[in-house]
Amino acid sequence: MALLQISEPGMSTAPHQHRLAVGIDLGTTNSLVATVRSGDVETLPDNSGQHLLPSIVHYSKEGDVLVGVEAQQFQKTDPNNTLSSVKRLMGRGTEDVSRLSGQLPFEFSDTESAVPKVKIDAGEVTAIEASAEILKALKSRAIASLGDELTGAVITVPAYFDEAQRQATRDAAKLADIKVFRLLNEPTAAAVAYGLDQNVEGVIAVYDLGGGTFDISVLRLSKGVFEVLSTGGDSALGGDDFDHVIAEWLLEQSGNTKSTDAVLLKTALIESRRIKEALTDQESVEVEFAGWFSQFSRDEFESLVGGLIKKTLLATRRALRDAEVEKSDITDVVMVGGSTRMPIVRQKVGEFFETEPMVDLDPDRVVAIGAAIQADILAGNKPDGDMLLLDVIPLSLGLEMMGGLVEKVITRNTTIPITRAQEFTTYKDGQTAMSIHVLQGERETVEANRSLGKFTLRGIPPMTAGVARIKVTFQVDADGLLNVSAEEESTGTKSTIEIKPSYGLTDSEIEGMIRDSMDNAREDMLARSLREQQVEADHVMEALDSAIKKDGEALLTTDERQILLEARADLYSSRVGADADTIKASMKRMEKAAEFYVERRMNSSIKDAMTGHSVDEFSK
């Protein structure tokens, strides 16, 4: 008689077939790793029982690398070789460094590289390499806790991370030798955790205020389908900024405002974090800094940080508007991130939504829990528990058209993964190649948007302008990474590009682009109309030039030719310095002037076609 292995629903029938998959919350201040074990989700501790891993990396002069608590102790004694908050540099370019330099106590190398490099005694290091060390530590913790090799991981990222920032996260995982099942938006991961635990259906807001980033997402949850309706936030706003506000107050009160002592500045930040955390449970706290003593109350703290909280609520209001929902439509508000422990944050969010926010799950762990649940599914451990996660892209994707216009192929807040194709054609007779310029943004003209990449489709058969059919396909995967391909349909000639920009947009830049598109909507509409009329005018003039060159001598008298050329000159003059309506009127005048010529050309073509044939042949 055969023996059957009995297992829990959704679990592998053989224990050794259960694949070790983890969810990783790669945070700015702290990171976690979680997994599903025996049907339960749990975050994994280190040897001392600590679940949170401080996102800090220390590089010793001897070349040793320490991560987490071991690295944290060097923040005061060796700050130049101890890196924290490196997530803020992920996917950023060297040009972004100057804007962030006041918030990050790093010294950057002068380099031609597009990726900023931090100076340390042992050389140089990038944010990707530092993040890889954090991921290695989490991977080692998972293997030590579970005693098996890691099959893969779901790593969370802020919802507003663009392609470059997501790619940088993938690169860090690759350096850590971790297979990434997918990147998952942090708010979506939180929704997974709450959706499974409490079976929520409806529209919810996920307010995620972590150590270095703020995200707000509006999601619709229904029968296991998680759809992000809109996202917003700021990748340079989080608990660190609250610490900086208190640190500035400490430096000012103690008379050290102009100090450049790295150890003193780092000490101010560490003391500020202690004060902030103490005021979560206390009404006041004793402060000792640089020989200065005082009492600091919760009311004073809330007064200092009120502006930062207001910024998060402004972003929240924009996200609701983008999702086309009212505050009254929100059924629940989920609080995520350690910074949401602050009573003033919970109070202001509750007042904004006019409902008590949900804080049932540990806000530090909820993201890792959701990622672990998704990782378990993607590893194949729960074939019957598949869950559909639908995220969105934050900005529209499109192509450059004639006249410097942008044709949007995928509009912002479109659900991903998505594949969308559009047909284009050639502009000139005999054109054998086409340049494909991929853009990101909400404006109508190329110069007002961000260039993502260019490539060229060659091998187009020489045809009359407008005859060729070029199919351009945009494919955005579940991680928000973009591939663009172009194919000439008659020959199958194809070219493709994978968009991997060397630096990313900040959330404030993304918000600015969206805001600019709204503020300049009328100007953009007028500019687009003008460019379209200019392109059409060019077509009309080129068609006239080609026609005159081909049969002008045979069909036109000298005076008739002069009339047409004067009409063309009038159109050219209008095209250069006029508005769209003037150009349109000038084209109509030219078309009116050329009516007799068009008629003669048509009659001539019919005559040529019928030469040598009888009328009876065409009537058959």
Do 142 and 225 lie in one domain? The reply is yes
pLDDT at 15 over 50: no
CATH code, domain carrying 537: 1.20.1270.10
Do 120 and 41 lie in one domain? The reply is yes
> Do the Cβ atoms of 390 and 230 come closer than 8 Å?
no
- Any idea what DSSP says for residue 88? G
Output 251 or 599, whichever has higher pLDDT. Answer: 251
Q: Which two tokens stand for residue 313?
A: 């609520």
**How many CA atoms, within 13 angstroms, populate the side-chain half-sphere of residue 109?**
17
pLDDT at 245 over 90: yes
Residues recognised as catalytic: 25, 87, 186, 208
Q: Rounded mean pLDDT of 2-6? A: 34
Q: Which amino acid is at 272?
A: S
Output 586 or 579, whichever has higher pLDDT. Answer: 586
Examine residue 8 and state whether it is found in any structural domain, yes or no.
no
Q: Rounded mean pLDDT of 42-62? A: 91
| Chain centroid offset of residue 603 CA | 57
Helical pair 558-577 and 521-555, crossing angle rounded to 10 deg: 170
Bridge pairing between strands 202-209 and 330-336: parallel
CATH code, domain carrying 292: 3.90.640.10
Q: pLDDT of 61-105, one tens digit each?
A: 877 899 999 999 898 888 889 998 888 888 877 666 655 555 566
Domain boundary residue, one of 303, 337, 354: 303
Confidence of residue 427 (pLDDT cuts 50, 70, 90): confident
Q: Rounded mean pLDDT of 488-503? A: 68
Alpha-carbon distance of 441 to 505, in angstroms, equals 11
pLDDT at 520 over 70: no
Examine residue 6 and state whether it is found in any structural domain, yes or no.
no
Provide the 10 A C-beta neighbour count for residue 9.
Answer: 8
Helix (H, G, I), strand (E, B) or coil at 76: helix
pLDDT at 309 over 90: yes
Residue 505: per-residue pLDDT: 44
pLDDT at 8 over 60: no
Sign of the C-alpha dihedral, residues 36, 189, 89, 483? positive
Residue 522: per-residue pLDDT: 66
Mean pLDDT of the chain, nearest integer:
81
Domain boundary residue, one of 390, 405, 438: 390
Examine residue 143 and state whether it is found in any structural domain, yes or no.
yes
Residue 353: per-residue pLDDT: 95
pLDDT at 16 over 70: no
Residue 246's domain spans which residues?
239-303
Residue 560: per-residue pLDDT: 84
Helix (H, G, I), strand (E, B) or coil at 516: helix
Sign of the C-alpha dihedral, residues 310, 312, 318, 320? negative
CATH code, domain carrying 437: 2.60.34.10
Sign of the C-alpha dihedral, residues 451, 454, 460, 463? positive
Examine residue 617 and state whether it is found in any structural domain, yes or no.
no
Examine residue 2 and state whether it is found in any structural domain, yes or no.
no
Q: Which of 195-204, 261-270, 473-482 has the lowest mean pLDDT?
A: 195-204
Do 264 and 294 lie in one domain? The reply is yes
pLDDT at 54 over 90: yes
Q: Which two tokens stand for residue 474?
A: 């945009």
The total number of structural domains that make up the chain = 4
CATH code, domain carrying 327: 3.30.420.40
Do 180 and 206 lie in one domain? The reply is yes
Residue 13: per-residue pLDDT: 38
Alpha-carbon distance of 103 to 85, in angstroms, equals 10
Do 559 and 501 lie in one domain? The reply is no
Residue 107: per-residue pLDDT: 76
Domain boundary residue, one of 519, 552, 582: 519
Do 421 and 494 lie in one domain? The reply is yes
Do 330 and 194 lie in one domain? The reply is yes
Alpha-carbon distance of 111 to 89, in angstroms, equals 16
Q: pLDDT of 133-146, one tens digit each?
A: 999 999 999 998 88
Do 45 and 172 lie in one domain? The reply is yes
Residue 173: per-residue pLDDT: 92
Do 80 and 166 lie in one domain? The reply is yes
Residue 562: per-residue pLDDT: 87
Residues 6+ apart with CB under 8 A from 471: 421, 422, 423, 486, 487, 489
Do 175 and 277 lie in one domain? The reply is no
Examine residue 7 and state whether it is found in any structural domain, yes or no.
no
Examine residue 61 and state whether it is found in any structural domain, yes or no.
yes
Residues 6+ apart with CB under 8 A from 360: 194, 197, 198
pTM over 0.85: no
Q: Where are the beta strands (DSSP E) in 290-430?
A: 292-297, 330-336, 388-392, 397-401, 405-410, 415-416, 418-424
Alpha-carbon distance of 74 to 89, in angstroms, equals 21
Alpha-carbon distance of 483 to 503, in angstroms, equals 17
Do 56 and 125 lie in one domain? The reply is yes
Q: Rounded mean pLDDT of 573-582? A: 74
Measured at the CA of 505, the angle between CA 502 and CA 509, to 5 degrees, comes to 155
> Do the Cβ atoms of 353 and 327 come closer than 8 Å?
yes
Do 206 and 265 lie in one domain? The reply is no
Report the length, in residues, of the chain. 620
Alpha-carbon distance of 232 to 318, in angstroms, equals 7
